[in-house]
């Protein structure tokens, strides 16, 4: 075991991938000399050189398109998009090209591309740098969507993502970069399943990414009310691991889904629908959601905090479904 940070775990994952396969390269805005907007790629330019750590112009549409072309040509690009908000400038390349090429070519072409992007709020960066749009991408067939919330997943998800023949989007929540902890040196991480992060019997709390920590804290607070909460980390947002979710609800018979996206059309709504479809008769109370307020993320800290799911709102929702 070694002590490290989420940022350092991501950097080590990048370093390992670049060392293991000469076809891997990193490309994006300020990833080279500057070391990445969030310092994830710091030092990699000096180690691997400008051919493999490539700074790009400020055009997401262009450099994501270049990454798709490189993947089609046999490379395994890692594309860094500064924030999920800016990825909207590359939606045509991601949705209409990368996600669709295997289908449109009858399986003749694959796009082994990984797109990393920062998501989430809580850092007073206002509306154009703070939204959680993971649910938008989880709507699209042809791509895999990952949300590492732990050091292990930050360290271990990148390499299997690069081995996937189809595009993979890897969402890194901005509030996780400084998170520190112990990291095993020999862990194996899959990119297919959800994880039970805390066992419980009274209510299932389902979360992912930057809200996993708040949800685990809420579960601990609920013990004071005699509520034993199970916490599920989705980890893989597309395809969803229905079996793990249904098994948890089959044990607890109550569920709260926690999602930093907006309530309307949220990923939480999809999870809720699947549980109602597949485990309706296991539920002893209506499922509940804790999501972001239906507003652009505010800049002022007290307003940003009010808009986002918090430990107190998760606790209140869990108490309500448990009748406490």
Active site residues: 60, 129
Q: Among the residues of 123-222, which ranges form H helices?
A: 134-137, 151-156, 158-163, 212-222
What the block records as the tokens of 54 is: 């490539």
Distance of CA 255 to the CA centre of its chain: 21
> Which DSSP string corresponds to 245-263?
HHHHHHHHS-EEEEEEEES
Distance of CA 233 to the CA centre of its chain: 10
The strand order across the sheet containing 24-28 reads 53-55, 24-28, 76-83, 114-119, 168-173, 144-146, 236-238
What the block records as the tokens of 260 is: 């930093």
SS3 213: helix
Judge whether 172 and 303 are in contact, CB under 8 Å.
no
CA atoms in the 13 A half-sphere facing the CB of 248: 29
| CA dihedral for 157, 159, 160, 164, sign (positive or negative) | positive
């Amino acid at each position: 075991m070694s002590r490290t940070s989420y940022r350092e775990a991501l950097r080590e994952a990048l370093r390992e991938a670049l060392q293991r396969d000469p076809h891997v390269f990193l490309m994006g805005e300020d990833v080279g000399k500057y070391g990445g907007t969030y310092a994830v790629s710091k030092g990699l330019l000096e180690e691997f050189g400008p051919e493999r750590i490539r700074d790009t112009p400020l055009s997401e549409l262009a450099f994501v398109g270049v990454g798709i072309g490189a993947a089609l040509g046999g490379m395994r690009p890692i594309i860094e998009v500064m924030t999920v908000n800016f990825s909207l400038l590359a939606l045509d390349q991601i949705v209409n090209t990368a996600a669709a090429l295997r289908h449109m070519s009858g399986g003749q072409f694959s796009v082994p591309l990984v797109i990393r992007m920062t998501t989430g709020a809580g850092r007073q960066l206002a509306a154009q740098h703070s939204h959680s749009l993971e649910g938008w991408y989880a709507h699209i067939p042809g791509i895999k969507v990952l949300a590492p919330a732990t050091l292990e997943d930050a360290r271990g998800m990148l390499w299997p993502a690069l081995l996937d023949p189809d595009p993979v989007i890897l969402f890194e929540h901005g509030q996780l970069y400084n998170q520190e902890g112990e990291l095993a040196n020999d862990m194996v991480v899959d990119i297919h399943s959800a994880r039970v992060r805390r066992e419980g019997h009274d209510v299932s709390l389902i979360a992912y990414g930057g809200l996993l920590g708040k949800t685990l804290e809420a579960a601990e607070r609920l013990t004071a009310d005699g509520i034993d909460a199970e916490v599920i980390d989705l980890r893989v947002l597309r395809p969803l691991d229905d079996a793990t979710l249904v098994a948890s609800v089959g044990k607890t018979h109550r569920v709260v889904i926690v999602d930093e996206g907006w309530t309307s059309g949220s990923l939480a709504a999809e999870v809720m629908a699947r549980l109602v479809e597949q485990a309706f008769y296991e539920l002893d109370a209506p499922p509940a959601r804790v999501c972001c307020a239906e507003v652009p993320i505010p800049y002022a800290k007290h307003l940003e905090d009010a808009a986002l799911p918090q430990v107190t709102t998760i606790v209140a929702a869990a108490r309500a479904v448990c009748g406490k």
